[in-house]
Amino acid sequence: MEPARKETPAHEERQSKPPKKGKRPKRYMSKGMKEGLSGYLFMSPTIFTIGVFVVIPIIYAFYLSLNDVQLLGGIGYEFIGLENYTRTLDDTRAIIALKNTAEYVLIVVPVQTCLALLLAAALNSDIRGKNAFRIIFFLPTVTSSAVLTIIFMWMYNPDGLINSFLSFLSLPTYNWLADPDIALKSIMIMNIWATAPFFMVIYLAAMQDISDSVYEAATIDGANWWQKFIFITVPILKPVTFFVVVMGVIGTFQLFDQSYIFSGGSGGPNNSTLTVVLLIYQYAFKSLDMGYASALAVVLAFIIMIVTIIQKKFFGEEKLHD
Amino acid sequence: MKFNKMLAAVGVTGMLVGTALAGCSSDSSGDGGSSDGEQVTVELAGWGSTPEEKELLNQTLQEFEDAHPNIKVEHEVIADQYMDVMKTRLVGGEAADVFYLDAFEAPGLAKTGVLEPLNDYITDEFDVDDFQDPLLNAFKFDDKQYGFPKDFSTLALFYDKKAFEEAGLEGPPKTWDELREYAEKLTVDEDGDGQPDQYGLGFSSELARQFYKLQPYGANVVNENDEAAFASDHAIDALKPIVDMKQNKIAALPSDVGTDWGGDMFGQGKAAMVIEGNWTVPFLENNFSDKDYATAELPTVNGEKATAAFTVAYVMNKQSEVKDAAWELISYLTGKEGMKTWTSKGLALPTRESVAAELGFDEDPIRKAFVEGASYAQPWQAGPNLPTINNNFNNQFTSALLGDQSLEEALKKAQETANKEIKASN
């Protein structure tokens, strides 16, 4: 067979070289193919790793979610169709977990996005020692979340730092860890503090890309700093905001480690820190009910997907520069 | 076509690399069989404990190894989430040959058939009748003995002698009504901010620390179908006093005062009385050695003596490849000799009557209350669904204690949710 006659797939071509106008020489196609192949060869370790540790588990989880899985004392699968999915509708704890998670997302994502934007704007201005501030602000993001949680739990202790500070200011004190009305909010505060700086760095990078001439033009037109921020910075950063919100939503929907450490794995007090992922963990590893746990995981994936699609509609096309 | 072939080749290469990687992780243990004379390794898994307990266990294991030169014991401590780890390992076929099992989890695990029934291993010399029956029966299902209790603890009342003196009280309360009166007198709010600095009673809200009150009132945790059945008027009568005490701020949970558990609460002087087990004794000795306290049997509930017993057994993995050696280990650790070493310091109480008599803990002023409790204690166990029931009870009961809902509502909700979950998972 004549390899030169075969058509190279379109994406192969794009990968190798920018498309050329006019008639291509015969040699070019076989070269493109070769390059494509070597590309795959180089990618094969990654393809393999992602395949084994990501793609296959996803497909397998989907398969498990349609089965009643028996693990202890002889592994057994029994196909039960969508029964695991209908079970979620009747599961009080699943509904509580979903409610907690939704509340968490709705509060944390807007707050951390606004905070990140404001911090970035502050660091983008010409204040003194901004490099030092960048490092200080970024520190929480580099720290392991387990360590952060444990430190915060000490600070949240009824006799801890935060309550001492509040009572020093004659403000009401709270039982941050054990009061069901407060526990989730304690986690929110901690998480906003820890993740906002990460998004701040992304905003900061994008802000430094905005041309000074735009601001100059606005200054000539008589805009003050606030108008410049609202009418220039924020609209230009819209694609970045899309990214920040999407990543924020995905991250917050998957809240697990903090609530796990906070409640010692139980989701208490009174299910107030029970999140969807924590519930999945409980079903998967405490009750060893892999089928139902997988079904919950698939449901969560669908929810995140739908929310992301809605956001995409809301923010329009994502493009940094037109 | 050549392209496809190349692609296939890449794919195959990838797979080969992958297989090689996977090969690294596959089982490479499999230490021989249990044939005579050969060196055999028995794996033993348990949860972490205090340094004193660890030292005692090591001493016991050393004595075992000296007596059985051909058996080597590999002891592994699972630091956190013991049952999650254990179950996952049992599924993966990687679990230890012998491991700890709490009576609370025993019915559920025995039902799955991953445990080796030990009936055929028992010899006359092992003397099964020497064990205290309620504790032995906690690991017996359908006439099969799945494990032997290594030790047990009961709950007793710890009280602060100094606080009692200051409040003008003498001796421990005998009934729950008296306990309430005492707690009122013992609650001290020095700075008058409405939050007592010393509560009368410190207690834990978990079902494990509450269930023993149900029986004297004629209530039960589960019914004959192993479903939750605690939402009865009798159960409300049994649990009402503690809820009232908590809401009147004469009793508190450890988390209310920023402590992890009752022993710490008591040691720090944030509660004048706590209901705790004998594990609290070495804790207080080590951390609050100048604490002047005494112990007493729990106050009577509805006129009846009641307390809880927590027991843990050594069980054998059914998939073990060294079952004979594993039995040697179990029979030594729960045998008269091993148990005597293990319980010699009174960190936990012996489950064998002969060992208990020999060690004479019933003479010890502090440990006496725990030993006395053994005769009427109810083991913390209620069928295979107890973990689910426990979880739901704990959640709802907490909100009843906080006054977010009435006790009746909380119990009803907990029972309904638990039973729904039990039904869905079966």
Between CA B219 and CA B210 the distance in angstroms is: 12
**Chain A residues bordering chain B (beta-carbon distance below 8 Å):** 1, 3, 6, 33, 36-37, 40-41, 44-45, 47-48, 51-52, 71-75, 87, 90-93, 157-160, 175, 177-180, 265-266, 268-271, 285-289, 292
Q: Which residues of A touch B84 (CB under 8 A)?
A: 285-286
Identify the band that residue A96 occupies on the pLDDT scale cut at 50, 70 and 90: very high
What's the whole-number average pLDDT of chain B?
A: 87
One-letter amino acid identity for A241? T
In a domain? residue B20: no
Residues B340 and B209 in one domain: no
Contact B398 A48 (CB under 8 A): no
Q: Which residue ranges make up each domain of chain A?
A: 3-64, 84-315
What pLDDT, on the 0 to 100 scale, is given for residue B33?
42
A118 vs A130: which has the higher pLDDT: A118
By residue range, what is the domain housing residue B247?
154-308+381-425
What pLDDT, on the 0 to 100 scale, is given for residue A145?
83
Residue length, chain A?
A: 322
B288-317 per-position pLDDT tens digit:
999 999 999 999 999 999 999 999 999 999
What pLDDT, on the 0 to 100 scale, is given for residue A285?
87
What pLDDT, on the 0 to 100 scale, is given for residue A318?
52
In eight-state DSSP terms, residue B351 is: S
For the segment(s) A84-315, the CATH number from 3.30.1740.10, 2.40.70.10, 1.10.3720.10, 2.102.10.10 is 1.10.3720.10
What's the whole-number average pLDDT of chain A?
A: 85
The domain that contains B72 carries what CATH number?
A: 3.40.190.10
Residues B222 and B102 in one domain: no
Residues B179 and B269 in one domain: yes
> Pick from B16, B100, B105: which is nearest to B388 by CA?
B105
Question: What tokens does B233 get?
Answer: 């008027």
**Rounded mean pLDDT of A186-205?**
91
Between CA A35 and CA B263 the distance in angstroms is: 69
Identify the band that residue A12 occupies on the pLDDT scale cut at 50, 70 and 90: very low
**Rounded mean pLDDT of A164-172?**
89
Between CA B219 and CA B231 the distance in angstroms is: 9
In a domain? residue B23: no
Query: Exposed/middle/buried for A164, CB within 10 Å: 0-12, 13-18, 19+?
Result: middle
What pLDDT, on the 0 to 100 scale, is given for residue B191?
78
Between CA A134 and CA B216 the distance in angstroms is: 64
What pLDDT, on the 0 to 100 scale, is given for residue A13?
44
pLDDT at residue A81 above 70?
yes
Between CA A171 and CA A158 the distance in angstroms is: 14
In a domain? residue B16: no
pLDDT at residue A2 above 50?
no
What pLDDT, on the 0 to 100 scale, is given for residue B115?
93
Of A1, A158, A265, the CB nearest to B258: A158
Residues B274 and B163 in one domain: yes
* ipTM here: 0.76
Domain count, chain B: 2
Between CA A298 and CA A66 the distance in angstroms is: 11
Residues B288 and B409 in one domain: yes
Residue B78 and residue B72 in contact, taking contact as beta carbons nearer than 8 Å: no
Q: Which residues of A touch B7 (CB under 8 A)?
A: 37, 40
What pLDDT, on the 0 to 100 scale, is given for residue B20?
46
Bridge-partner residues for B41, per DSSP? B72
One-letter amino acid identity for B421? E
pLDDT at residue B10 above 90?
no
Contact B109 A52 (CB under 8 A): no
Identify the band that residue B28 occupies on the pLDDT scale cut at 50, 70 and 90: very low
Residues B112 and B219 in one domain: no
Contact A177 B255 (CB under 8 A): yes
Say which residues have a Cβ less than 8 Å from residue A108's Cβ, sequence separation at least 6: A188, A191, A192, A195, A248, A252
pLDDT at residue B4 above 60?
no
> Pick from B241, B243, B362: which is nearest to B295 by CA?
B362
Identify the band that residue B45 occupies on the pLDDT scale cut at 50, 70 and 90: very high
Say which residues have a Cβ less than 8 Å from residue B92's Cβ, sequence separation at least 6: none
pLDDT at residue A91 above 50?
yes
Of B10, B113, B424, the CB nearest to A73: B113
A243/chain B closest Cα distance in angstroms: 33
pLDDT at residue B18 above 60?
no
In a domain? residue B18: no
Instruction: At B293, give phi and psi (nearest 5°).
Output: -140, 170
Question: What tokens does B66 get?
Answer: 């000296």
Contact A45 B14 (CB under 8 A): yes
**Rounded mean pLDDT of A205-214?**
89
Between CA B364 and CA A232 the distance in angstroms is: 80
Of the given ranges (B28-32, B84-88, B128-132, B317-321), which has the lowest mean pLDDT? Answer: B28-32
What pLDDT, on the 0 to 100 scale, is given for residue A317?
59
Q: Which residues of B touch A68 (CB under 8 A)?
A: none
Query: Exposed/middle/buried for B194, CB within 10 Å: 0-12, 13-18, 19+?
Result: exposed
Residue burial B137-172, b: 16+ Cβ < 10 Å; e: rest:
ebbbbeeebbbbbbbbbbbbbbbbeebbeebebeeb
- CA-CA-CA-CA torsion for B268, B271, B272, B273, nearest 10 degrees? -120
Residues B180 and B299 in one domain: yes
Residues B76 and B171 in one domain: no
**Rounded mean pLDDT of B112-140?**
90
User: Tokens 């915060």 appear where?
Assistant: A152
pLDDT at residue A113 above 90?
yes
Question: What tokens does A31 get?
Answer: 């070269």
Task: Provide the whole-model pTM.
Answer: 0.79
Q: Which residues of B touch A287 (CB under 8 A)?
A: 387-388, 425
Residues B54 and B130 in one domain: yes
Say which residues have a Cβ less than 8 Å from residue A156's Cβ, sequence separation at least 6: A162, A176, A177, A186
% residues pLDDT > 70 (chain B):
91
Between CA B241 and CA A150 the distance in angstroms is: 35
Residue B306 and residue B300 in contact, taking contact as beta carbons nearer than 8 Å: yes
Strands B147-160 and B293-296: antiparallel
What pLDDT, on the 0 to 100 scale, is given for residue B155?
94
Contact A44 B14 (CB under 8 A): yes
Q: Which residues of B touch A73 (CB under 8 A)?
A: 112-114
In a domain? residue B171: yes
Between CA A51 and CA B17 the distance in angstroms is: 13
Of the given ranges (A228-237, A261-270, B129-138, B403-412), which has the lowest mean pLDDT? Answer: A261-270
**Minimal Cα distance from A293: which residue of B?**
B425
Q: Which residues of B touch A92 (CB under 8 A)?
A: 417, 420
In a domain? residue B404: yes
Question: What tokens does B355 get?
Answer: 């060992």
What pLDDT, on the 0 to 100 scale, is given for residue A124?
86
- CA-CA-CA-CA torsion for B344, B345, B351, B355, nearest 10 degrees? 30
Neighbours of A282 (CB within 10 A): 22
Contact A285 B3 (CB under 8 A): no
In a domain? residue B175: yes
Residues B238 and B365 in one domain: no
Between CA B23 and CA B209 the distance in angstroms is: 48
Residues B60 and B77 in one domain: yes
**Minimal Cα distance from B396: which residue of A?**
A270
pLDDT at residue B17 above 60?
no
Of the given ranges (A143-147, A181-185, A304-308, B128-132), which has the lowest mean pLDDT? Answer: A143-147
Residues B115 and B145 in one domain: yes
Residue B262 and residue B255 in contact, taking contact as beta carbons nearer than 8 Å: no
A26-69 per-position pLDDT tens digit:
555 678 888 889 999 999 999 999 999 999 999 999 999 999 88
What pLDDT, on the 0 to 100 scale, is given for residue B193?
75
